[in-house]
Amino acid sequence: MTRKFTGDQILVATHNKGKLEEMKTLLEPYGVKVVGAGELSLPEPEETEDTFVGNARIKAHAAAKATGLPALSDDSGITIDALNGAPGVYTADWAETGNGRDFMMAMTRANTELDAIKAPLPRTAQFRCTLVLAWPDGDDEVFEGVMPGQLIWPIRGAHGFGYDPMFQPDGETLTCAEMAPADKHKISHRGRAVAAFVKGCFGG
């Protein structure tokens, strides 16, 4: 049985402003105050696992232990079928420049690698999100969400963040970056993972 969340404040263990804003929006209807790890000046633990759930657990437990608050961590990324699931847990690493992250560079790399192997259309991919809710006593719960779709080129749209401009969800004609944020949240991998979290930990 899933352990219930009974507090009115939750720490989201991320320094990514885009992820934090999405989480605040998704959890707002449940009356939970969201605070980010960056706002508390928590250090970013090294992500040494090769799975989404492994890295999410590292971040969630580190934040819960440091603050004494329940901590919700998101590890997410894009898996591209023709690239054998890459970049996967290395999604953000593909954007790393040594002086911040450049997702235009990351998207260009993905398209270039697909072109190099002459990957056929549609170039199917999935956005994946794993949430781990960790308590200070060491307990945790895991929730997952997946949004299938395909990669398009050239990129389209100015909303969202990350790889959103090149990702067109199944059943949609717009990329994630062309959608209004509220429409994206309804179908996104993170929205689906949060829905599973809410159902499991709030009973709603």
Length of the chain: 204
Tell me the whole-structure pTM to 2 decimals. 0.90
CA separation for the pair 129, 188 (Å, rounded): 9
- Which residues, in sequence order, are bridge partners of residue 143? 131
pLDDT tens over the chain, length 204 residues: 688 888 888 999 998 888 888 888 888 888 888 999 989 999 999 999 999 999 999 999 999 999 999 999 999 999 999 999 999 999 999 999 999 999 999 999 999 999 999 999 999 999 999 999 999 999 999 999 999 999 999 999 999 889 999 999 999 999 999 999 989 989 999 999 999 998 998 765
Secondary structure class of 84 (helix, strand, coil):
coil
Task: Report H helices in the chain.
Answer: 17-27, 52-67, 103-116, 181-187, 189-201
Handedness of CA 194, 191, 146, 115 (dihedral sign): negative
Q: Which residues are catalytic?
A: 75
